[in-house]
């Protein structure tokens, strides 16, 4: 079954004066897919989203959402997109219901009463519908923002940093909500939290300085990063740190070792799996091996990894 392409971006460029915010990016997202934009601040995530919602036109390139060109059919395209900007756009002096109802009216929704009820139920704000928005907590405001983006039942949802500034419980709630929403719709969300992208997204696009430097499923991206992998080792007491460092350093395949976080962080050479040798060396020395696990890449490391890769071929040219 081929799935319809809902977001189609081709060679999109955006310049602000001399500053190049987007440097010819291309990607696609199909229906029922959650695509995550992962990147540092100023990488071009928000700019891309603003182009895809018709807020700002691209300098060059082409983009269409739900089959409508973002520039030529801007008004029609906006009917099919729900957008939650990073600063949740709320009228603080309106009630939750009044606000969502107002947005529904602007969208020209036929069965408004029912739809507003439905969407407030969906984001879990139905019992607070009479509250003034100014009295709500950050998490609740985020939900109201989502309700606004959902009220016209759009095929495409664009969410800019939907979990930023929420407490852990709220983050989980919002993620669960997005996950449900993504079953039927195309969701494009941006984040700078790697674990969030891994947990939520079907595919991740890593974006840096206006360019997409890697796209793939979370598993694909991780496997691309096998080289230079790091292991974390913890041993029982009784062996001096210096002995241990010397011992680990001698294991074939080990490039570097550091005592850190109550254990040892071992950097393994490209392609080598040093774990069996490491384990037997430690146990053979008479120490108790308490822990041996790969260290997950932090976002910073992942970036460094991908950005240096993206740069080196261009340097060669």
The closest alpha carbon to 84, from 183, 174, 193, 202, belongs to 174
Under the criterion CB under 8 A, does residue 286 sit at the interface with other proteins? no
Q: Of 61, 67, 89, 124, which lies in the binding site for other proteins, with binding defined by CB under 8 A? A: 89
Under the criterion CB under 8 A, does residue 90 sit at the interface with other proteins? yes
Q: Please identify, among the stretches 83-91, 162-170, 270-278, 301-309, the one whose residues bind other proteins according to the rule CB under 8 A.
A: 83-91
Minimum distance from residue 206 beta carbon to other proteins (Å):
25
The closest alpha carbon to 31, from 76, 1, 62, belongs to 1
The answer to whether 196 touches 163, Cβ cutoff 8 Å, is: yes
* DSSP letter (8 states) at residue 135: G
Nearer to other proteins, 76 or 300 (CB): 76
Q: Distance from CA of residue 83 to its chain's centroid?
A: 16
Minimum distance from residue 79 beta carbon to other proteins (Å):
5
Cβ neighbours for 98, distance < 8 A, ≥ 6 positions apart: none
The answer to whether 43 touches 207, Cβ cutoff 8 Å, is: yes
Size of the site for other proteins (CB under 8 A): 28
Q: Please identify, among the stretches 29-37, 85-93, 248-256, 292-300, the one whose residues bind other proteins according to the rule CB under 8 A.
A: 85-93
Cβ neighbours for 252, distance < 8 A, ≥ 6 positions apart: 272, 274, 277
Under the criterion CB under 8 A, does residue 72 sit at the interface with other proteins? no
CA–CA distance, 169 with 163 (Å, rounded to integer): 11
Under the criterion CB under 8 A, does residue 76 sit at the interface with other proteins? yes
**Residues lying near other proteins in the complex (CB under 8 A):** 16, 50, 53-57, 75-76, 78-79, 81, 83, 85, 87-93, 102-103, 105-108, 148
């Amino acid at each position: 079954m081929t799935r319809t392409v809902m977001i189609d971006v081709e060679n999109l460029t955006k310049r602000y004066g001399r500053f190049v915010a987007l440097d010819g990016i291309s990607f696609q997202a199909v229906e029922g897919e959650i695509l995550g934009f992962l990147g540092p601040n100023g990488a071009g995530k928000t700019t891309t989203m603003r182009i895809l919602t018709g807020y700002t036109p691209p300098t060059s390139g082409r983009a269409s959402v739900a089959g409508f060109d973002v520039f030529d059919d801007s008004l029609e395209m906006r009917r099919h997109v729900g957008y939650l900007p990073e600063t949740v756009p709320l009228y603080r002096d309106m009630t939750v219901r009044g606000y969502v109802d107002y947005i529904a009216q602007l969208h020209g929704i036929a069965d408004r009463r029912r739809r507003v009820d439905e969407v407030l139920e969906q984001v879990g704000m139905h019992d607070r519908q009479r509250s003034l928005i100014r009295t709500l907590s950050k998490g609740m405001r985020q939900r109201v923002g989502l309700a606004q983006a959902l009220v016209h039942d759009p095929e495409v949802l664009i969410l800019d940093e939907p979990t930023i500034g929420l407490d852990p419980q709220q983050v989980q709630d919002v993620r669960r909500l997005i996950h449900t929403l993504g079953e039927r719709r195309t969701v494009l969300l941006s984040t700078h939290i790697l674990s969030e992208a891994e947990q939520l997204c079907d595919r991740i696009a890593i974006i840096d300085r206006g360019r997409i430097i890697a796209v793939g499923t979370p598993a694909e991206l991780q496997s691309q990063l096998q080289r230079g992998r790091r292991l974390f080792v913890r041993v029982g007491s009784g062996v001096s740190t210096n002995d241990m460092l010397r011992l680990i350093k001698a294991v074939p395949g080990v490039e570097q070792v550091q005592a850190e976080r109550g254990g040892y962080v071992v950097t393994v050479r490209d392609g080598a799996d040093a774990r069996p040798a490491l384990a037997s060396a430690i146990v053979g020395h008479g120490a108790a091996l308490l822990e041996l696990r790969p260290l997950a890449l932090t976002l910073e490391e992942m970036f460094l990894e991908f950005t240096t890769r993206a740069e080196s071929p261009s340097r060669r040219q």
